[in-house]
Amino acid sequence: MKKSMKLAVAALVALALVGLSSTAGAQYEGDSRAEASVTGGVHILNENDTALPDQVVNVPLVATVGYRLTPMFTAEGEFTWIIPVTQTLDLGQGVSAERKSPDILAYQANLRADLPVWSSGAPYVAAGLGALTVLSNTDEDRFPQLEESETMFALNFGAGLNWDLGSRWALRGDFRELVAFPSDNANGLSDASGADPIWMERVTAGLAYRF
């Protein structure tokens, strides 16, 4: 997906959230419930010309806690551990080798809007912002090798589905586009021209529980 298309999708998600909030902005007076979910799947580091090869595939483990603000809106806090996977990477100048990325942590505050389409489940759109940390690691099998951890601003947008398994449990599937913004002098994540944003795609599935 090209960057211009990704930005257009982000704008549409933001407009959807703003539009929905105008019709469901009142404080939720019903049975307010907290919820938590754990999901895992596939995470792709993509489109970063100054540091990372394209399409580095890793495994995300995502823990999310949420609180329903209205019948439609839920505020969520999300923590992600992106677990590196060894794979053949293009290191530039025609050189390929077995490498894996550093471990990455992401922390995001999100707003989720559930769309009541079915009685037993609801698709949703979501967006948020926070930070992302690429952890230091100088092992020979890592690319890039970082002497110091780098933390940067990051945001996300996407959509998903919650499908009820009962009054408390639900299946959760989620697609999320994330973008992180390393500083121009970020060690190992920039070059002489500066640093490009790091675009990432994440697909996860797992279980959610409502308290």
pLDDT confidence of residue 33 = 86
User: Confidence band (pLDDT; 50, 70, 90) for 187?
Assistant: confident
What is the third-level CATH fold of 3-24+33-210?
Porin (2.40.160)
Count CA within 13 A, CB hemisphere, residue 8. Answer: 5
Global pTM value: 0.83
Question: pLDDT at residue 14 above 60?
Answer: no
Higher-pLDDT residue of 77, 50: 77
Residue 67 has pLDDT above 60, yes or no: yes
Rounded to 5 degrees, what are φ and ψ at 10?
-60, -40
The pLDDT value recorded for residue 185 is 86
Would you kindly state where each structural domain of the chain is located, as residue ranges?
Answer: 3-24+33-210
What CA–CA distances, in Å, run from 146 to 3, 137, 140, 208? 27, 5, 11, 35
